Amino acid sequence: MIWIFDIIILVFLVVTALISLQVKDLLSAAMIFGVYSFLMCLLWSGMGAVDVAFTEAAVGAGVSAVFLISTVLRTKRRSSD
Amino acid sequence: MKILGFIAVIITGILLLQAERDFPDWGDPASPANNYRLSQHYITQTFTETTVPNMVTAVLADYRGYDTMFETVVIFTAGIAIIGILRVFGSSSQLEHKEPTLTAKKPDLIVDTTCRLLIPIIQLFALYVVAHGHHSPGGGFQGGVIFGASFILLALARNLQTAQKWLPESRVLTLAGAGIFIYAGFGVAALVLGGDFLDYGILTKLLPGGVEDARSHSMLGVEIGVAFTVTAIMFSIYSNLASNGKMKEGI
């Protein structure tokens, strides 16, 4: 794998992880968590673990983001802490 | 308390970075994980023993079939637990509160047309992922999730009732149970024919081809069972979460 891509993805991974923890709006936190999963999927596929990348893309970035969003819409949209 | 947590995170980070130096290089053929004779056996013998090129699926569905069966049971149990917690039967007025209005009531032309075009393709791709899972990346879990996601997309684009026309609640539970039944059925069939539980080689008496082909075909059957359960449970979780357990008006 080209190491520059590796560095870019890892930096964005840390950035999205921090943002999804820090942001007050829970809907955008859920969306950014989906972005995190997708970057993770890119990393897995870069390492040749295609099966894991596939699962991460389908479950992490796809379905669990939908589950989180539908949960957020049933509670408060703003985080209180 | 926040300072304490910060210190704990820093110390753990330093320890992890220290330990990282002892790791073998990425993809190192001499690393302990690759040198162990069991993994050597999987890497070199999978194709001759099962005629399955994708050794990840072979390990998951054949060599470690017992693990995967109970992983499917875990998903089933999670779905049942979510139904048990969220599902509301009848109309109880104290649980009523304002329904969130994310979408307009009238179906949007662009959204509707896009979903009409996309959903068949998504479902076809999901079937491909399940059916081709032992030859290329994929398998029952991924295919099931994609198939369930196509119904979730239908529920998001139209409403929950439209999706429930295809997957009503009773059918969801039947499908989820049938998946595990298929998986365990392969194990019991092997047991009845005189082999061990989930020992697919003995199923050559029932399936066409030799012992290797029987293992390959049994893997496909087992993956189909997993896909049934995962599809049903994914849609069930979504519909319970989205409609607050009332199964009437989703998001």
Cα–Cα distance between A24 and A17 in angstroms, integer? 14
Assess B102–A contact: CB distance below 8 Å, yes or no: yes
Longest dimension (CA), chain B: 66
* Helices A64-74 + A26-46 axis angle, to 10: 170
Which contiguous run of DSSP H or E holds residue B27? none
Can you give the residue range of the structural domain that contains A69?
A: 3-74
Give the DSSP letter string of B195-229: S-TT-GGGGGGTSSS-HHHHHHHHHHHHHHHHHHH
**Which chain A residues are within 8 Å of B251, Cβ to Cβ?**
70, 73
Tell me, what's the pLDDT at B195? 87
Tell me, what's the pLDDT at B187? 92
**Which chain A residues are within 8 Å of B57, Cβ to Cβ?**
51
Cα–Cα distance between A40 and A56 in angstroms, integer? 7
Cα–Cα distance between A64 and A38 in angstroms, integer? 12
Q: 4-63 in B: which are within 8 Å (CB) of A? A: 26-27, 54, 56-57
pTM above 0.90, yes or no: no
**Residue A18 within a domain:** yes
**Per-residue confidence in pLDDT tens, chain B, 251 aa:** 889 999 999 999 999 999 988 888 887 888 888 888 888 899 888 888 888 888 889 999 999 999 999 999 999 999 999 999 988 887 655 555 555 555 556 778 898 899 999 999 999 999 999 999 888 888 889 999 999 999 999 988 888 888 888 889 899 999 999 999 999 999 999 999 988 888 888 888 888 888 888 899 999 999 999 999 999 999 999 999 888 888 777 66
Domains of chain B, by residue range, sit at: 54-242
Asked if B184 and B228 touch (Cβ cutoff 8 Å), the reply is no
Assess A59–B contact: CB distance below 8 Å, yes or no: yes
Using left for φ > 0, alpha for ψ between -120 and 50, and beta otherwise, residue B139 falls in left
Q: What values do phi and psi take at A25, rounded to 5? A: -80, 115
Of B142, B234, B244, the CB nearest to A54: B142
Task: Tally the domains of chain A.
Answer: 1
pLDDT in tens, A42-71: 999 988 889 999 999 999 888 999 999 988
Assess B145–A contact: CB distance below 8 Å, yes or no: yes
pLDDT in tens, B73-99: 999 999 999 999 988 887 655 555 555
Nearest chain A Cα to B27, which residue?
A47
**Residue A14 within a domain:** yes
Assess B149–A contact: CB distance below 8 Å, yes or no: yes
**Residue A69 within a domain:** yes
**Residue A30 within a domain:** yes
